[in-house]
């Protein structure tokens, strides 16, 4: 037997890069952020605590920053084309309230967000970034496919454990534009490996720090690379990667079977190819 050839994942269309955003709390500033993303064709995920939607708040940061939430009735239209994800019903710390209340925060938020959007809600961001193994299990039982944590990696890695999904950077990272440049226009040899740029934050922070230019500059720059980058929501990326990980290989890796309902893309040094749902391909030497 010859040495098996290693073919790497490609995103839909054979692309090696994906970009996604994750913004928390459903604050009014999401409207301005969404306008910036939409005009650049970018996609993101918005993590909402459904019980606090519509709440008027100016208390944080000495009353200087408006952290009021969008109204429940606005959710479906405002976030159309993006992902609405769970963030805990009341945004409670899920490890400090007992398992019963934690379960309720998790499942009732999902139910209410599904009622508001008319769609399936399958993503989550941990309130305050707090979680443990029990909370991860609760999310799985409640039908969530992934959950975002707070620490960032500074890399373009794709997570092994989607219930501890780290972003690449928070938007206040002083290296943000350098990271973006490395990602979109950096070493082409690195582009052989699939890469994900994942940016997160809270839209009220742009008011708090008076730095809307940070996200405007980032989005205007990233938006130019739509031909080489998959602009996707968190759940679209999670679903695709999980499907890819279900590919079944023969013992010598010469045959690959796609048991999923998703067209899956791969690449080697010579070409980019796809495997249709239900298809088995033979790898040529
Ligand atoms: Zn939050």
Q: How far is the CA of 50 from the centre of ligand 1 (A)?
A: 12
Q: How far is the CA of 13 from the centre of ligand 1 (A)?
A: 34
pLDDT given for residue 189 in this prediction = 65
For 139-161, what is the mean pLDDT?
97
Q: Which pTM value belongs to this model?
A: 0.96
Separation CA 208–CA 67 (nearest Å) = 10
**Domains of the chain with bracketed CATH:** 16-243 (3.20.20.370)
Separation CA 256–CA 283 (nearest Å) = 8
Strand partners, 84: 46
Q: What is the pLDDT of residues 181-208, one digit of tens each?
A: 999 998 776 667 899 999 999 999 999 9
pLDDT given for residue 112 in this prediction = 98
The residues, ordered by sequence, that sit 6+ positions from 139 with a Cβ below 8 Å of its Cβ are 106, 124, 147, 163
Residues with CB under 5 A from ligand 1 (ion): 24-25
Q: How far is the CA of 194 from the centre of ligand 1 (A)?
A: 29
Q: How far is the CA of 91 from the centre of ligand 1 (A)?
A: 6
Q: How far is the CA of 86 from the centre of ligand 1 (A)?
A: 10
Q: How far is the CA of 125 from the centre of ligand 1 (A)?
A: 8
């Amino acid at each position: 037997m010859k040495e098996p050839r290693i073919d790497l994942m490609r995103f839909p269309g054979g692309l090696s890069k994906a970009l996604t955003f994750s913004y928390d709390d459903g604050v009014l500033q999401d409207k301005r952020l969404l306008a910036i993303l939409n005009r650049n064709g970018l996609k993101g995920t918005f993590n909402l605590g459904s019980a606090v939607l519509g709440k008027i708040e100016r208390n944080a940061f000495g009353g200087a920053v408006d952290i009021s939430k969008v109204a429940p009735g606005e959710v479906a239209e405002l976030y159309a084309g993006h992902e609405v994800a769970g963030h805990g019903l009341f945004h409670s710390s899920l490890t400090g309230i007992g398992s019963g209340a934690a379960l309720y925060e998790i499942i009732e938020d999902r139910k209410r967000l599904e009622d508001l959007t008319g769609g399936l809600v399958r993503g989550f961001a941990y309130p305050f970034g707090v979680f443990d193994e029990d909370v991860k299990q609760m999310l799985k039982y409640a039908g969530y496919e992934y959950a975002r944590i707070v620490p960032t990696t500074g890399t373009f890695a794709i997570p092994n454990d989607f219930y501890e999904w780290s972003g690449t950077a928070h938007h206040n990272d002083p290296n943000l534009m350098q990271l973006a440049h490395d990602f979109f226009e950096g070493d082409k040899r690195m582009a052989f490996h699939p890469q994900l740029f994942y940016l997160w934050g809270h839209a009220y922070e742009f008011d708090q720090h008076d730095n809307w230019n940070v996200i405007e500059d980032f989005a205007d720059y990233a938006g130019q690379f739509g031909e080489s980058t998959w602009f996707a929501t968190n759940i679209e990326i999670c679903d695709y990667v999980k499907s890819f990980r279900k590919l079944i290989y023969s013992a010598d890796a010469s045959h690959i079977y796609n048991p999923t309902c998703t067209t899956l893309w791969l690449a080697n040094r010579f070409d980019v190819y796809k495997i249709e749902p239900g298809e088995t391909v033979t790898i040529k030497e």
